[in-house]
Amino acid sequence: MDRDNIYSLVDKFVDDVLNVKNIDIKEPKIIVSPPGPNSRRIIKRDEKINSKGSFSRLLPISIESGYKEFVIDVDGNIYRDHFSGATAANLGYGLNEFTKSIIIQLIKQSITIQHTPYMYLSNPFATRLAEKLLEISPEGFDKVSFSVSGSVSNDYAIKMVRKYTKRKGLITFENAFHGNSFGAASVSGFNLLSKEMGNIGNIFRAPFPVDDETAKNSIEKIKKIISRKKIGGMFIEAIQADSGILIPPEWFFKELREICDKSNVLIIDDEVQTGLGRTGKWFAIEHFDIIPDIITIGKGLSGGFVPISAIITRQDIADSTQKPQLITTFLGHPIGSVVALEVIQVIEKLLPSIRKNGEFIDNLQKRFIKKFKMIRDVRGIGYLRRIEIQPQYGPLTIFRSLEKGELFGLFGIKNEVIRDAPPFIMSKESIIQGYKKLEEVFMEIENNLIPESTINKVKKYFKGML
Ligand SMILES: Cc1ncc(COP(=O)(O)O)c(C=O)c1O
């Protein structure tokens, strides 16, 4: 049998599976109040065997499967997902109409060749992906390096900056999150590295702007640092994500670009979370009308199927590094590459609905702020939205939402931001249903209607946060 015949069998097989109607899920369903006994058992086993530093658990459930914008835990509870697997599973779960073409490519590639190391031997799949990434990147970008996680991409970006500018200093924003490998953790604002671990050094911090006044202060601080230290690069998130989805004023990045240009400081735009369609554009920085020097991506690049990431930049910057300085075994992974190529095509079709539904969510959220005293701020672009509440209600809000079948993230420096980052495939109708449930939660909190049993579980499961 030749390859085409085998491939048509794969097409048929995937079609047959997709046609099994009983896997269709249209709404959340809670069978046993979370966390159910199976989740509790697995989490207990995790705690016994995992290093403490290797998790930062959000909710006490164990996820086993999913379908479209729903995830299912080991007790059979179905939740509507507003979390997208930490903004990576952007096309939802299981075999659905959006993931079908990706799964077909994944199976075909898996039965052809699973792995060949692109750093030593070329493969056409990674080559095609690099070309595609340059097609969707801003003007002037002409080089791609691959890696395996957002963190490592940021580490590679640091190497590029240091090599290209011959300056070691880096500026980063307070409370930024760029990952957990050594370089990325060093330029992050959270306490990811203890004193004993140290960091890569020469890191300087400025506040992330949220309005005109904080933006002016931030600009002054950055100017001062650049005038006194040997700075090679400035790390940015166009929208600061994990600290609570902070959006700077429109003018800020343009002024930052001018300052950096004057001193030949490179701008590294970390789009690991905000990139590849999350804000309705390929990159969040496009909303601010500047072109950075380096862009790092990861997470959603393969729709959560395979861990892959990339660094996109200009030739002069990329070529300043020498041959083995940006390599790792799985870079340019063939399965990851064909999956990502397909993911990009699916996202391309979804960009208009992300923008349109994003505006719709905007209006839903604005209604909340008028209705509930506990809500301080609502904001967002596309499918990346924040609902800032009084911090003491953070754990209660996400846990009570979970009990009603809605899985939200909790972020911000004081756990005060409910993060709504749904898979791009979530329909307007599903968004409305999710927000109805969230509204019920706010109503219950403000009217002291939360059941005692829920409050007790929150006390038990969010001990460190309360
Ligand atoms: C903005 C940003 N950069 C980098 C990273 C790190 O990516 P990874 O966890 O794939 O290493 C993250 C992860 O949350 C992120 O949000």
What pLDDT, in 10s, does the model give residues 238-248? 999 999 999 99
Angstrom distance (rounded) from CA 312 to CA 293: 9
Q: Residue 355 CA to chain centroid, in angstroms?
A: 17
Q: In the chain, pLDDT over 90 holds for what percent of residues?
A: 93
| pLDDT tens digits for range 401-457 | 999 999 999 999 999 999 999 999 999 999 999 999 999 999 999 999 999 999 999
| pLDDT tens digits for range 340-378 | 999 999 999 999 999 999 999 999 999 999 999 999 999
* pLDDT band, residue 466 (cuts 50/70/90): low
Q: Ligand 1 centroid to 84 CA: how many Å?
A: 14
Angstrom distance (rounded) from CA 434 to CA 92: 16
Ligand 1, residue 176: give the atom nearest the CA: 1
Q: Ligand 1 centroid to 28 CA: how many Å?
A: 28
- Any atom of ligand 1 within 6 Å of the Cβ of 178: yes
| pLDDT tens digits for range 35-49 | 999 999 999 999 999
Angstrom distance (rounded) from CA 118 to CA 147: 11
CB 304 within 8 A of CB 159: no
- Any atom of ligand 1 within 6 Å of the Cβ of 241: yes
Angstrom distance (rounded) from CA 51 to CA 333: 28
pLDDT of residue 450: 97
Would you say residue 133 has pLDDT above 80?
yes
Ligand 1, residue 152: give the atom nearest the CA: 11
Ligand 1, residue 179: give the atom nearest the CA: 6
Domain 116-332 has CATH 3.20.20.70: no
- Any atom of ligand 1 within 6 Å of the Cβ of 421: no
- Any atom of ligand 1 within 6 Å of the Cβ of 150: yes
Q: What is the mean pLDDT of the chain?
A: 96
DSSP state letters, 240-309 = BTTTT-B---TTHHHHHHHHHHHTTPEEEEE-TTTTTTTTSSSSGGGGGT---SEEEE-GGGGTTSS--E
* pLDDT band, residue 19 (cuts 50/70/90): confident
Q: What Å distances lie between residue 118 and 4, 78, 151, 332, 334, CA to CA?
A: 25, 40, 20, 5, 8
Angstrom distance (rounded) from CA 157 to CA 251: 25
Angstrom distance (rounded) from CA 141 to CA 314: 5
Which tokens is 14 given?
Answer: 């995937």
Query: What value does the mean pLDDT take over residues 67-92?
Result: 98
Which residue type sits at 302?
S
**Residue 18, Ramachandran bin (φ over 0: left; ψ between -120 and 50: alpha; else beta):** alpha
If 0-12 CB within 10 Å is exposed, 13-18 middle and 19+ buried, where does residue 207 land?
middle
- Any atom of ligand 1 within 6 Å of the Cβ of 232: no
Which tokens is 425 given?
Answer: 């495939």
Query: What value does the mean pLDDT take over residues 223-245?
Result: 97
Q: How many CB atoms lie within 10 A of CB 464?
A: 9
pLDDT of residue 463: 84
| pLDDT tens digits for range 65-77 | 999 999 999 999 9
Would you say residue 1 has pLDDT above 70?
no
CB 434 within 8 A of CB 371: no
> How large is the C-alpha radius of gyration of the chain?
22
Angstrom distance (rounded) from CA 26 to CA 78: 10
pLDDT of residue 2: 85
Q: Ligand 1 centroid to 272 CA: how many Å?
A: 6
Would you say residue 297 has pLDDT above 90?
yes
Which residue type sits at 88?
A
CATH of 3-101+349-465, one of 3.40.980.10, 3.90.1150.10, 3.40.50.300, 3.60.15.10: 3.90.1150.10
CB 147 within 8 A of CB 331: yes
Q: What Å distances lie between residue 287 and 175, 253, 282, CA to CA?
A: 22, 10, 10
pLDDT of residue 3: 85
Q: Ligand 1 centroid to 230 CA: how many Å?
A: 26
Per the document, the length of the chain is: 466
Q: By C-alpha distance, which of 333, 341, 272 is closest to 306? A: 333
Q: What Å distances lie between residue 236 and 186, 240, 300, 464, CA to CA?
A: 14, 8, 19, 29
Lowest mean pLDDT among 4-18, 60-74, 154-168, 344-358: 4-18
Domain ranges of the chain: 3-101+349-465, 116-332
Q: Under DSSP, is residue 157 helix (H, G, I), strand (E, B) or coil?
A: helix
pLDDT of residue 336: 98
Ligand 1, residue 86: give the atom nearest the CA: 14
* pLDDT band, residue 338 (cuts 50/70/90): very high
